[in-house]
Structure 1
Amino acid sequence: MQASDSIKIIPMQQKHIVDINKTNEPFTVFGRLVPCLHHDIWSYEEELFDTPHDIQFPDDHLNWESYINQEDKVIFMAYLGKACIGQIRLVKQWNKYAYIENIAVCQSHRKSGVGRQLFNKAEEWAKKKQLLGLSLEAQDDNLAACRFYIKNGMVLGGVDTMTHAFNKNIDKALYWYKTF
């Protein structure tokens, strides 16, 4: 399947709210990104786990209506026909970056270009709003996501060891940026 041939990326409207958590499917955790700060420059290595495992985030329960037709936030939904296969949720931040709150693609459409299309739409939205770039936070043990962010031009801008201190499986929160 060529994702660009048949996928429609549209702003979420009231009728799409029923689809918002459909993209919340399991994903495989197979390694972590290990960051290192040296002379104010971040570098990183990959550490692969001996035993990969699947995890799934709990469904989000937000006020979805608050994202509809707003100037400072939006959710773009990816549809293949009538099936929701992906979404990206953005919020304009105080630092003039568009913060990606969530990006998710259904398992059946991962690695088909849908994530890239959603990321491109986020860039387009941020540029239209005259923002400086995109930012997001990812867990260090989500190596697939980190690889995706790197592939799409994001750079590691910071690390926080306390954000997920309550979760024994997550060592660090990684903060990624793409400046325009």
Structure 2
Amino acid sequence: MHLVMTPKDPEVSVRLADEGFAPYIWGNDFSFEVRAYARVDRHKKVEQWPLDMITPYRKCYGIDPDEFASYRGAPDSAIFMAYLDNQPVGHVVVSTNWNGYAHVDELAVAAPARRHGVARSLLDVVRFWSHKKNLPGIVLETQNNNLGACRLYERCGYQVGGVDYLRYRGIDPQTAEVAIFWYLLFESRD
């Protein structure tokens, strides 16, 4: 499936994932271009983080719909899909983490559908889901090479709660990729 976005302001809708989840995953490109690795400073805005520029390359995390099969219909997890003009273009997988926070296990938007409010709509649904479950906030992880995601989370009110410099060293001992944990803390659970 090749999605062509033509409307200037297409309508975004979000609903629980259905049997169309796997075909949607297999039929879309979720890769992004990496141009730099940021040196995270939790006391500064993302735009102020120093960058180590690199030769650009495409990054794809290899999304497997079967990995989250048990999440559908479970009481402490959910998969939501986003649609632009009734075409599936994004998803979020959320669960209740061991520490009581909602944990975004995966958030992805198909490449042609980016910059249309899809990711923000999915994060809004996670926030609603978390409030309904009376959770204290949301935690998610991204990497220092996914600056678009970092800027989005910052704009949505998330703050850096931690940086793990060793998380990806098991995959590549020489990697400059580090994990950034973002938190959205709710003021009250009442």
Bin the TM-score by the shorter chain. 0.7 to 0.9
Cα displacement (A) at 1:80: 2.8
8 A contact 2:30–2:110 mirrored in 1: yes
Name the SS for the 1:121 alignment partner. Answer: helix
TM-score computed with the length of structure 1 as normaliser: 0.86
8 A contact 1:22–1:84 mirrored in 2: no
Residues 1:9 and 2:14 aligned together: yes
User: What is the alpha-carbon distance in structure 2 between the residues aligned to residue 7 and residue 98 of structure 1?
Assistant: 23
**Identity within the alignment, %:** 29
Change (3 A) 1:91 1:148: same
Cα displacement (A) at 1:46: 3.5
Letter in 1 for 2:33: T
Cα displacement (A) at 1:104: 0.8
Letter in 1 for 2:12: I
Q: Which runs of 5+ in 1 are unaligned?
A: 37-41
Structure in which a larger fraction of residues adopt strand: 1
Alignment match, 1:102: 106
Alignment match, 1:121: 125
Alignment match, 1:43: 43
Alignment match, 1:31: 36
8 A contact 1:17–1:64 mirrored in 2: no
Change (3 A) 1:105 1:176: same
Matches within 5 A, 1:1-180: 1-3=8-10, 6-36=11-41, 42-44=42-44, 45-47=49-51, 49-165=53-169, 166-167=171-172, 168-180=174-186
Letter in 2 for 1:113: G
Change (3 A) 1:160 1:86: same
Letter in 2 for 1:29: V
Q: Which runs of 5+ in 2 are unaligned?
A: 1-7
User: What is the alpha-carbon distance in structure 1 between the residues aligned to residue 51 and residue 67 of structure 2?
Assistant: 37
Change (3 A) 1:23 1:148: farther
RMSD: 2.0
Cα displacement (A) at 1:134: 0.9
Deviations 1:77-129 (A, max 9, x none): 01234521000110111211111111111111101111111110111111111
Alignment match, 1:39: none
User: What is the alpha-carbon distance in structure 2 between the residues aligned to residue 61 and residue 17 of structure 1?
Assistant: 5
Change (3 A) 1:63 1:55: closer
Change (3 A) 1:85 1:75: same
Letter in 2 for 1:70: A
Change (3 A) 1:49 1:56: same
